[in-house]
A and B are shown apart, each in its own frame.
Chain A
Amino acid sequence: DQQVKQNSPSLSVQEGRISILNCDYTNSMFDYFLWYKKYPAEGPTFLISISSIKDKNEDGRFTVFLNKSAKHLSLHIVPSQPGDSAVYFCAASDGTSYDKVIFGPGTSLSVIP
């Protein structure tokens, strides 16, 4: 059973609009969350993270929101650019198991010019 879920396999957004990628988790012990971005033929690269003591973290055009009671987080990209087209993985860690993280299945974002 997947502990980290990304229920939208794909998402298309017009350039300049907001992209919202969603992630749900089931393990209440998770206390640190990360988003990774992956282009074809490249490995994933770290994008942004959030600790469970916060409900929002912002880095330029990227903002991650965490709703602990709903076990839900979302990544907002504003404004979306064609170069943001990639697969986005949500990941979570409970900090107890040798720095392991659990990855979601990913959402493929297409930003249309």
Chain B
Amino acid sequence: SAVISQKPSRDICQRGTSLTIQCQVDSQVTMMFWYRQQPGQSLTLIATANQGSEATYESGFVIDKFPISRPNLTFSTLTVSNMSPEDSSIYLCSVRRDVSYEQYFGPGTRLTVT
């Protein structure tokens, strides 16, 4: 398995501001992902963040809005920039094991934008 922690666990932010979410994994992993879960919805992949390369964004998500850093094999950050109420969601960090492809999720960051 993998133990994943996220900070902050929740936050209430004003529109127009930015929030950086941290994700820490207890072991080295190549593949890390960021997902968004809007209220009452399923999970949507924002981007793939592999160490040593630029993050790859899914359709509908752009780097200027969701910049990602991946400085090493156990840590990543996601920034939600220039926030609006539509950004109110749970943001989840995820890792995938290199051999088995089993994927694990962090506890999530519950963001409310007012």
Partners in one complex: no
